[in-house]
Each structure stands twice: as structure tokens, then as C-alpha cells.
Amino acid sequence: MPQPFDRVFNFSAGPGVLPVQVLEEIRDEVLNYRGAGMGVMEMSHRSAAFEQILFEAKADLRSLMGISDEYEILFLQGGASSQFTMVPMSFLGSGTAQYIVTGAWGQKAIEAGRFEGEVEVLWDGKADEYRSIPNEIGENELASYVHITTNETIQGVRFGHDISVTAPLICDMSSDILSRPVDVSKYDLIYAGAQKNMGPAGATVVIIKKELLDGVSRELPPMMDYRVHVKNDSMYNTPPCWAIYVCGKVYRRLLSLGGLMAVHENNIAKSGVVYSAIDESNGFYRGHAVTEARSLMNVTFTLAEDGLTKSFVSEADALGMKDLKGHRSVGGCRASIYNAFPNDGCIALADFMREFAHKNG
């Protein structure tokens, strides 16, 4: 099925696919942004035009996610990985932080936290190779904070609901932000790299409860200090202007599609197409995650006969379905189908999976 501009079906885990309509708008503005005589890549971050871009991006994100005035929104650099350190620097203090480790990214977060003080594992899915999420969370209410990763990009497991804890809840939402409505009021800090559901790499969104910041007393280097970034409205230093501009376009588009409930329904339908191909294969394909924990963003599966994985990936590639190889730590295949991934691509993959199983089963 030919795609606009001869585009392929891009199953990359991130940076990932962006909406064609957004890319077209950007293309039209790249040389001259709305009569400014220059593009956003070349524009001072102190210009009125860029200030408006930042203002609108924040306002649209607020309205998409239903973020109240009790929260600040920041666009920082350094990726979600920098948040693994900034979070404990600000909020760990002399107490203990508890981490729910549902996969590789949660593991990275706790490893970084160890440099800053006492951290402990509240739940770890390692024993079943990170196929599931916890049923119950018996956190210590005296914890400095509880940290979770709502969607584990590598293993393809996710929390399909907002959890409640007594301690401040801090969440890495890098690979499922904007994929479903969330109750932001349940979280004290949400962070996410832009490069999956929001825009190009380079911007990291941080949504932070003002009350959480009020409790920070430690002196910190300015770039590591959320308070400095809040005070300067994400402009303490040069912000990731281009990435913010593209994120803003994506937010607008999601609003025009009807908001996150509509997006979520579509994600359920899209991922369902691929999971059905797995479930109906009589064991030819095996989903990595247990059914209840299946990610809507990263569908992970192995082939019962592992020797066939290479030809599966290369035959799919030849048909224009790119980047289906799974992460080396899980093996098999991973189909990342972020918000902007076209529904037709999921249908094409499921058809291919059935044919491949028929031919090789």
C-alpha cells in the first residue's frame, strides 16, 4: 500500500514516526516562519515569535492532559536519562526513595538514583523477565518518593491505569505520554523525552507539582535545579527551540483529533490488530508481556523458532516495514506503534505475520 511521500512503515522505538500533517506544516515554515523572514531553527529564543511558540505549546499540553495550575510545565534538555539524576538530586534528601522496576528503564533510573543516596526496590519484575506489572504496591508512606515507569519501551509492558501511593509519585512517561488520558493529579512529577509521542529528540517535558518544589531546600547547581528552570520559564539557557516548536504542532494535532480519549481508543484498536495476529498464530508467535500488561505502544514478541527471526525481520524490511528487530536484551521482534504510526501499518504487519507463519509454520 503506497504511503504519502514514499514513506515506509517505521516501527522504530524512538526517535519514532511523526504525523505527516505536522511534517508538512513544518516543511512549509522551515524557510520563513509566518512572515518572520527566518525559520524557527534560526530564531532567537528571546524573540516574540518564539515566546509565543513556547506559550502555546505549554497551553496546548495543559489542555490535552488536563494539567491544573498546581503544576509547572518545563521543556528541558538532557533527555529522560538526565531526569534519572535530577529527580533524586532534588527530592531524595536524607530519606529513602522506592522504585518499581518493571523493565530496563526503571532499572536505569534506580541505578542513577543510587549515586544520590538511599534507594530501594519496591517491586522488581526481573524474575519473570519483566513480563508483568505489580498487582499491589505496598509502598512505605515515609518514602521520599515512589518512582515508576508507566511504559517499558524495551519489554513492552505498561501500567494501563494510574496508580495511587501516599508518598510523592514520580513517573517516567517517556514512551506512553499522550497515548491515553491520565489523571495528572495522581502524580507529583511526570517526565518524558519528546522523541516518541511528542516530537524530535532534544526536548524533555517535565510536569511538576509546585508543592513538591516547595519542599526542596538543597542548594543545587543551576542547570540541575528545577526551581531555576521554573523561575526562568524553561529559558535559563537556550531551550531546545526546534523540538519545542514541533511538539507544539503535535499537541495541536492531537487536540484537533479529539484529544487523548480518541487517541487512546485508536491505540487500543491499532495494537489489537497486531496482538490478534500473535494470539491467533497457535504459538508461532509469542507475546513477551502477559496479556494484562501488554503495551499499546511497543508490541514485543518472539518467534517459537528463533532461527526464523532474522528472515522475518528482513522480509518485513523488504516490504517497507522497518525496524522490527527486538532489543537485544529481549530478542525477537518489537513493533513500536506510537500515536502517529498509521493504522494501515498495523494491518500490513498483521497480514505479513499471518503469511509468514503460514509459509514457515
Q: Point out which residues bind ligand PMP (CB under 6 A).
A: 14, 79-81, 105, 149, 153, 172, 174-175, 193
CB of 281 to ligand PMP, least distance (A): 27
Q: Which is nearer to ligand PMP, 17 or 350 (CB)?
A: 17
Nearby residues of 26 by Cβ (< 8 Å), 6 or more positions away: 245, 246, 249
Of all residues in this chain, which one has the CB nearest to ligand PMP in the complex? 79
Could you give the angle at the alpha carbon of 47 between the alpha carbons of 44 and 53, nearest 5°?
95
Name the residue with cell 519496591.
122
Q: Which is nearer to ligand PMP, 81 or 302 (CB)?
A: 81
> Which residue in 176, 188, 196, 323 is the catalytic one?
196
Q: Which is nearer to ligand PMP, 10 or 153 (CB)?
A: 153
Angstrom distance (rounded) from CA 339 to CA 261: 12
* Inter-helix orientation angle 343-360/260-279, to 10°: 10
CB of 242 to ligand PMP, least distance (A): 16
> Which residue in 105, 209, 242, 249 is the catalytic one?
105
Strands 118-124 and 96-101: parallel
Q: Which is nearer to ligand PMP, 93 or 156 (CB)?
A: 156
CB of 298 to ligand PMP, least distance (A): 8
Q: Which is nearer to ligand PMP, 159 or 284 (CB)?
A: 159
Nearest of 127, 175, 115, 121 to residue 143 by alpha carbon: 121
CB of 236 to ligand PMP, least distance (A): 19
242 is an active site residue:
no
Q: Which is nearer to ligand PMP, 98 or 174 (CB)?
A: 174
Sign of torsion over alpha carbons 176, 177, 181, 182: positive
Do the Cβ atoms of 74 and 229 come closer than 8 Å? yes
Using only the alpha carbons of the chain, give its radius of gyration.
21
Q: Which is nearer to ligand PMP, 16 or 93 (CB)?
A: 16
CB of 138 to ligand PMP, least distance (A): 24
Strand order in the sheet with 204-209: 71-76, 204-209, 189-193, 169-172, 146-149, 96-101, 118-124
Do the Cβ atoms of 161 and 180 come closer than 8 Å? no
- Left, alpha or beta for 212 (phi > 0: left; psi -120 to 50: alpha)? alpha
Do the Cβ atoms of 169 and 188 come closer than 8 Å? yes
* DSSP 3-state of 324: coil
Sign of torsion over alpha carbons 167, 192, 257, 265: negative
CB of 4 to ligand PMP, least distance (A): 27
> Which residue in 58, 60, 123, 172 is the catalytic one?
172
* Inter-helix orientation angle 104-113/79-91, to 10°: 40
123 is an active site residue:
no
**Residues acting as catalytic residues:** 105, 172, 196
